[in-house]
Amino acid sequence: MNRRMLIFKIFHRAEWDALRLAGSSLGAPIDLADGYIHFSGQAQLAETAVKYFADHSNLVLVACDAARLGPALKWETSRGGALFPHLYRALDLVDVVWDKSLPLGATGHIFPEGVF
């Protein structure tokens, strides 16, 4: 059985709502500044949440199937020398496999069941 590889993007609720309304997005301000949409692999997700969203609530975790994003998805060296997925095109709503709230609990973000 061929299991798909999910990659993840954390959005503020307002950014996610804007994407849903428009049908696509070039990402958050950091994505616009860097020229690509930052994603995390499963093993990188918790660290990304701590590093960039430690005190942020009202977040949405979005999962995409890496294979469905096509050649615009590049795996590039980033934090700690690890390869991170970067999308060099708009993220379209049809690219999203699922979206779930990412609440902030007393000891950090509470990830949806089955992510790890």
Where are the domains positioned within the chain?
6-100
Return the pLDDT at 1: 43
Model confidence band, residue 3 (pLDDT cutoffs 50, 70, 90):
low
Task: Give yes or no for a contact between 29 and 37, defined as CB atoms under 8 angstroms apart.
Answer: no
Task: Give yes or no for a contact between 59 and 13, defined as CB atoms under 8 angstroms apart.
Answer: yes
The 3-state secondary structure of the chain, one letter per residue:
CCCCCEEEEEEEHHHHHHHHHHCEECCCHHHHHHCCEECECHHHHHHHHHHHHCCCCCEEEEEEEHHHHHHHEEEEECHHHCEEEEECCCEEHHHEEEEEEECEECCEECCCCCCC
Share above pLDDT 90 across residues of the chain, in percent, rounded to a whole number: 91
Which residue bears the tokens 């690890």? 82
Pairing of strands 59-65, 83-87: unpaired
Comparing 49 with 81, the larger pLDDT belongs to: 49
CATH topology for the 6-100 domain: ADP-ribosylation fold (3.20.170)
pLDDT in tens, 63-74: 999 999 999 999
Task: Give yes or no for a contact between 87 and 39, defined as CB atoms under 8 angstroms apart.
Answer: yes
Average pLDDT for residues 33-43, to the nearest whole number? 97
Largest CA distance in the chain: 40
Q: What's the pTM?
A: 0.93
